[in-house]
Structure 1
Amino acid sequence: MATVHLWQAGLDCDRSQLAHYAQRLSPDEQQRADRFVKPLHRDRFIAGRGILRGLLGQCLGIAPERLQFSYGAHGKPDLAYPANSGWQFNLAHSEDQSLIALTQGAAIGVDLEKIRPIPQLDQLTARFYAPDEHAQIMSAPIADRETLFFRYWTCKEAFLKATGEGLGKLQHLQLALGRSAQEEPVRIITLPESPPTAWQLRELPLTDGFVGAIAVAHGEIAISFNSFQSGEFLC
């Protein structure tokens, strides 16, 4: 069984916390932060990366600023230093919330989204989702369609982040969701071309107004879930 350590973390923090997190960033992360036009988006990026580094540093027994990351063809991060630690991780964020997942010895991906109105929902779903998924969303009560859209989206993106294949494979991944996010695991109907392995794909109980999912390349998982908001935690 793979143990997954999962945190939902608030990204809006005070200036002293933000300065603490900024000191951990690598030069390339600082350059990415500086490219954000809006200060709010820059600050949330810094907080997310700072918290990620703090949690990884605790697991590895290493100072957060010493960690080095490498990136796959579609941007999936991995640990370059220390090498061969066995730890896998993934990070997602939406608005003022983030999800951070850590595990050992298994590919992992997470995603979360704030539920919000979607212009041209019918056309967007028809383009990116399988016909059965599109039909389920558009036959749902109008008030439930955006939530169902994002439930599918987060499950698909979590899986594709775990495999490192990117969103170009979105329409090739067909899923079957339960009637609510608490019914788990999600059933995988068809997969993109990828190495055969056992997968666990689950929806997550998150803060009201958000949906999220986690994908792990393992036949059986146990999730240790924690959450903290701005000002509550300084790793």
Structure 2
Amino acid sequence: MDVWLTRLDRPVPGASEVLSDKETRRADGYSYPEDRRRFVIARAMLRSVLADHLGVAPAEVEITRDESGRPRVDGGPDFNLSHSGELAALVVSGDRRVGADVERHRELDYLGMAERVFLPGEHALIAALPEAERSVAFFRYWTCKEACVKVLGEGLSALPGPELVFDTAGAALMRDGERWSVGELVLPEGYSGAVVSPGRPFRVVQRNWSG
């Protein structure tokens, strides 16, 4: 399973030229130039990677939504895009549904948030950690669960959702008795990320997209 990564704090010549009219209007609607830049680069990566799979030009990729609201392309792979801070990740799979989430670490009420959106046992595990380790643990749980939610297309109302477990096979999510496989991403310091898919384990291949 391929995961494409790109920094959003750099110029990408021609990125805005491959956007659809709807994407261009959305980009122009941002109040801050940095928000517009992040959106444009992330969407340009999405279109570029999908174009390679479909054998068309990036500007010709037609992205629609399925009945759950998940983005899709006719005749193309399943995919999911996530971005936070100055980093974007795109997971692409030709044979299974996938979800991705990346999060920039930031100051939060970690225990309060964990109590509201995680299972009691997960909250207890985070609470038992030294304070300096809670942020990394929180975002580890959060990205895995958020990636699962994005597979389902259900939104954050699906949380606390599945239970995150760790065993000799690595991290996994248990949902209604079914094991969902998790691939945790190797990201720059200050970020956490994961990709999730129902069923059997998968191998993640991280790739850099430069435009």
Q: Structure 1, residues 130-184: CA drift from partner, whole Å, max 9, x if none?
A: 0000001111010011111110000001111112122110112221247xxxx85
Contact 1:185 / 1:203 at 8 angstroms: preserved in 2?
A: no
Tell me which of 212, 219, 222 is aligned to 2:193.
212
Residues 160, 23 of structure 1: CA spacing in aligned structure 2 closer, same or farther, 3 A cutoff?
same
Q: Structure 1, residues 72-112: CA drift from partner, whole Å, max 9, x if none?
A: 46642111xxx233x11111101111101111021111001
**Which aligned pairs between 1:137-176 and structure 2 lie closer than 5 A?**
137-176=126-165
Deviation of the 1:198 alpha carbon: 5.8
| 2:96 pairs with 1:102 | no
Tell me which of 162, 179, 203 is aligned to 2:184.
203
Contact 1:114 / 1:211 at 8 angstroms: preserved in 2?
A: yes
Contact 2:103 / 2:193 at 8 angstroms: preserved in 1?
A: yes
Contact 2:147 / 2:196 at 8 angstroms: preserved in 1?
A: yes
| 2:83 pairs with 1:93 | yes
Aligned to 1:185: 170
Distance 1:112 1:184 in 2: 22
Residues 135, 198 of structure 1: CA spacing in aligned structure 2 closer, same or farther, 3 A cutoff?
closer
The TM-score with structure 2 as length reference comes to: 0.91
Distance 1:162 1:213 in 2: 12
2:160 maps to amino acid? Q
Deviation of the 1:220 alpha carbon: 3.5
1:107 maps to amino acid? R
| 2:200 pairs with 1:224 | no
Residues 7, 31 of structure 1: CA spacing in aligned structure 2 closer, same or farther, 3 A cutoff?
same
Deviation of the 1:197 alpha carbon: 6.5
RMSD: 2.0
SS state at 2:188 partner: coil
Deviation of the 1:65 alpha carbon: 0.5
Aligned to 1:12: 9
Distance 1:203 1:78 in 2: 23
Deviation of the 1:208 alpha carbon: 1.4
Contact 1:160 / 1:169 at 8 angstroms: preserved in 2?
A: yes
SS state at 1:40 partner: helix
Deviates more, 1:30-39 or 1:149-158: 30-39
| 2:61 pairs with 1:70 | no
Residues 168, 74 of structure 1: CA spacing in aligned structure 2 closer, same or farther, 3 A cutoff?
farther
**Which aligned pairs between 1:114-153 and structure 2 lie closer than 5 A?**
114-118=104-108, 120-153=109-142
- List gaps (5 residues or longer) in structure 1: none
Contact 1:106 / 1:218 at 8 angstroms: preserved in 2?
A: no
Higher relative contact order (CA 8 A, sep 6+): 1
Deviation of the 1:114 alpha carbon: 1.1
SS state at 1:168 partner: helix
Contact 2:20 / 2:59 at 8 angstroms: preserved in 1?
A: yes
Distance 1:211 1:227 in 2: 16
Contact 1:152 / 1:177 at 8 angstroms: preserved in 2?
A: no
- List gaps (5 residues or longer) in structure 2: none
